[in-house]
Structure 1
């Protein structure tokens, strides 16, 4: 009788089994049990609200509610952790020739429970943002970021530290686009959001969002580009176009984050803004160099600013500015929504703290304005 009922509905036995498996998966979806939240960096709001004044010999700064944003972590070979994030501690380069957003680096020796600021990177007269770090086999740390003067100068510098993040020196430049004041605007024609990964042969590869083609004819509003370094980040090779589509030139693939999966293949996730409304997509490569053409495949229920992490057991976790979290147990063939670490996210990132624990870093909004950098820890359940 039950079998005939399904046949009347026009559903085969194999389809029934599929839907039952889906229902069971969603019923048993607690992959991580979320717990403690820790503040990595809290930047005080400046005392004045727009005017630079001097009171008793103290200059009160004007751009005071930014706080800290865009946190990214790195686990060192020593077991310690570094955090890099963007801070606003000056009036900004438009009011102060030596001003601009800066990058700060903090260190934790207790798996992220407490943090201490250890270093700062400045590029006077420019805004730094989008930090991301890796550690070379020789122990040196590389930090890639964007450095901009809006609508006139865009660079992707790589900084080098040989003392675990305390001091930084400029090592190389991934890409740049230079023009006169206002020449690279309407639309912007910049380069942003570098993300470095080691290839199987030990070389460092980087992906980034690239608007340099925006005013070419025919051009692209934005694409995702890749370059490879044969000398540990001291120089970078020719550009490889990773995500673009000749039939969708107004689309804006960007914010790439990629990793080597446990099966040896590479996956990159990214947003596609414009007509695709900042939905999240992914591609898979056998070697991290040759990538399929087109826009790839969409990850459901994710939107803007994605982050991807491959757990030690092979599962993939993805989150984004939509504040959802997705897991894949089959290297991206299917995705399932799971319990999320945060109700509201801005530029989140994911890390495996130890075998039993993950952490999700977030730019958390404050009642006083701006954001601080926090990490929320979660126990891996299965």
Structure 2
């Protein structure tokens, strides 16, 4: 959820593709090294030029993934001067996140609005219709400069992030302001489950709720199913659950983390259930650490095998630089805080390395406006060395 977007506003042939015979999967390129040679703290990926007229907050909401090739990709909200329309930059690292360079850009080719908010990167782990395993997807919110409309659109790259093509529109909404009664949609999160691509997102279009969390699925990336609610509050219209993040646990359960704004100060809540398509009926909990800390705002969660046994859930939030770790499969009394050097950030992203998931990357791009010093940075963290 965006607490300061009002201030920011003041500043300013699918079916035939899906049914065509699929092309063979391309060979996966190999990157020589996939793990960083060392840990790293708050390494700058991108900082807007100080002499340019960038819109406050300059950058925000960073995400990173490791591809099956071993290359890393990163993107973020880029508040560059308009015109031209804003876009999502694509940066690549071939040394595990120690150095980065821009290799591509994702532009709005459909709406003439720009790609403005909440990018999410995902690599297909299997073929979906005409999109081979290894296709990189980017879901993002296309919004005009006046913030009057919202569209969650999907773009695809078949060459590891260098070039991009439009795939489909997941959903459309109204004015991009976090005000109950308006009808925007926000914050996509992509995941493949049971040979379907799921898109979770925050939705203000239901007149019964200030905001709720929903998902839709597709088997061809073009046709999306009817919405299913994941989290809503029947007792309070003012409740604004938002910013979904999902990870699988080794016992077969799934954790569905989100912020509970409107009624609980945006504290981080989560649900645990065996079916990621039925979180509405799953058990619900609030994260509170061994130090009595309630993480607040914009969660992200991953599961690592660190330490053996049940491994560990690793959770980040928007108001605390520490990681919140649970080594008991999400037991609500078992969250422990660990300090890392990566600064806190709004919707800070987490990524585990494919070759060794005891190594973690945290990536952030600063704070909600007003914030005229935001930059994009990442840290590489050895979870074993933290003592998890």
With normalisation by structure 2, the TM-score equals 0.76
Pair 1:156 & 2:148 matched? no
* Structure 1: gaps (5+ residues): 1-32, 48-61
Match in the other structure for 2:238: 250
Counterpart in 2 of 1:318? Answer: 315
Equivalent position to 2:327, from 320, 326, 329: 329
Contact 1:250 1:274 in 2 (8 A): yes
Indicate if the aligned counterparts of 2:149 and 2:173 stay in contact, CA closer than 8 A.
yes
Q: CA deviation at 1:184?
A: 11
1:9-51 per-position Cα deviation (integer Å, ceiling 9, x unaligned): xxxxxxxxxxxxxxxxxxxxxxxx974332122221344xxxx
- Aligned partners of 1:266, 1:183: CA distance in 2, in Å? 30
C-alpha distance in structure 1 between counterparts of 2:164 and 2:78, whole Å:
16
Residue 178 (structure 1) shift: 5.1
- Higher normalized contact order (CA 8 Å, seq sep 6+, divided by chain length): 2
Q: 2: CA distance between counterparts of 1:129 and 1:177?
A: 13
The question of whether the paired residues in 2 share the 8 Å contact of 1:228 and 1:237 is answered with yes
Q: Is 1:350 equivalent to 2:350 in the alignment?
A: yes
> What SS class does the counterpart of residue 303 from structure 1 fall into?
coil
Aligned alpha-carbon RMSD (Å): 2.7
Matched residue, 2:11: none
Q: Judge conservation of contact 1:271–1:280 (CA < 8 Å) in 2.
A: yes
State whether structure 2 residue 28 is matched by structure 1 residue 43: no
Which residue, out of 166, 170, 192, partners 2:166? 170
Q: For 2:45 and 2:210, locate their aligned partners in 1 and report how far apart those are by CA, in whole Å.
A: 35
Query: What is the aligned partner in structure 2 of residue 376 from structure 1?
Result: 379
Secondary structure, counterpart of 2:295 in structure 1: strand
Q: Which residue of 2 aligns with 1:146?
A: 141
Alignment of 1:357-368 (within 5 A): 357-364=359-366
Q: Distance in 1 between matches of 2:54 and 2:41?
A: 31
Partners of 2:40 and 2:165 lie apart in 1 by 37
Give the 3-state SS of the residue equivalent to 1:374 in structure 2: strand
The 5 A counterparts of 1:102-251 are 102-123=87-108, 124-136=112-124, 137=126, 138-149=133-144, 152-177=148-173, 187-199=181-193, 201-213=194-206, 216=207, 219-231=208-220, 233-251=221-239
Unaligned runs of 5+ in 2: 1-37, 127-132, 289-293
More strand by share: 1
Aligned equivalent of 1:75, options 39, 60, 66: 66
TM-score (norm 1): 0.77
Which position in structure 1 is the counterpart of 2:22?
none
Question: Could you say what secondary structure the match of 2:287 adopts?
Answer: strand
Matches of 2:136 and 2:285, distance apart in 1:
33
Using the TM superposition, give the Cα deviation of residue 159 of structure 1 relative to its aligned residue in structure 2, in angstroms: 0.4
Aligned length: 322
Query: How far 1:312 moved relative to its partner?
Result: 3.0
CA distance in 2: counterparts of 1:151 and 1:89, whole angstroms: 15
